[in-house]
């Protein structure tokens, strides 16, 4: 079983942003959603993962090392 540190490093390696989500990232996104200009944004599923969802298919199907 990998260590906690190894697991965290693997998560960062698979994320196009190359880092973990921060508290500030989440706070900024919530602020965006609360802005009146976001009124038309409703009923949507938003992937909030630094772009990791774009690479999931590649990793599942072995398209990238």
3-state secondary structure 34-61: HCHHHCCCCCCCCCCCCCHHHHHHHHHC
Q: How many CB atoms lie within 10 A of CB 20?
A: 11
What are the domain boundaries of the chain? Answer: 4-60
Report pLDDT for 34: 94
**Residue 17 per-residue DSSP state:** T
Report CA-CA distances (Å) from 38 to 25, 32, 55.
17, 7, 27
Its pTM stands at: 0.62
Q: pLDDT digits over 31-56, tens only?
A: 999 999 999 888 888 888 887 777 76
Cα–Cα distance, 27 to 47 (Å, whole number): 15
Residue 64 has pLDDT above 80, yes or no: no
Q: Across residues 26-33, what is the average pLDDT?
A: 92
């Amino acid at each position: 079983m990998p260590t906690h540190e190894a697991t965290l490093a693997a998560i960062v390696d698979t994320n196009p942003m190359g880092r973990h989500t921060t508290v500030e990232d989440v706070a900024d996104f919530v602020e965006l959603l609360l802005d009146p200009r976001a009124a038309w944004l409703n009923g949507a599923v938003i992937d909030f993962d630094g772009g990791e969802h774009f690479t999931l298919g590649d990793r599942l199907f072995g398209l990238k090392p």
